[in-house]
Amino acid sequence: MGNNWGRWGEDDQRGALNLITPEAVKAAAQRRATGKVYSLAIQLTRESVPAVHDRPAPERYTLTTMADIGRVPPIFEIGEGVGANEDVLTMPSHIGTHMDALSHVT
């Protein structure tokens, strides 16, 4: 099996992604058989992400209230009575279908 080291020059950072050109995407789109779209992601739930060594993934829920607004940088220009949610995702990423990016989960 060959490799792609140096195939696109010494300074290349994209590697095999260089093969995904507009022409290649157009050719792939023209090969569709049914027009149906299939998600390759998995549903992100407590049950769908296997625990590591039988430990459940930790969960954290945070609601920012008016008491916390002073901690928000003024660049966001948050108005009177506005709050916010913070989502934190903690999970083992080398399990199942190897979820190495959030684009691989729903």
46 assigned to some structural domain = yes
pLDDT at residue number 9: 92
Say if residues 53 and 96 touch (Cβ distance below 8 Å).
no
7 assigned to some structural domain = no
Tell me the CB-side half-sphere exposure of residue 72, using CA atoms within 13 A.
Answer: 18
1 assigned to some structural domain = no
pLDDT at residue number 6: 85
pLDDT at residue number 4: 77
CA dist 21 to 27, 28, 77, 100, Å?
A: 10, 11, 40, 23
Query: 63-74 burial string, b = 16+ CB within 10 Å, else e?
Result: eeeeeebeeeee
- Domain limits for position 42: 15-104
9 assigned to some structural domain = no
Mean pLDDT of 5-11: 88
Helices (H), the chain: 22-29
43 assigned to some structural domain = yes
Domain count, the chain: 1
What predicted TM-score, i.e. pTM, was given to this entire model? 0.35
Angle at 70 between CA 74 and CA 78, to 5 degrees: 45
pLDDT in tens, 73-85: 555 555 665 656 6
pLDDT in tens, 86-98: 666 666 665 555 5
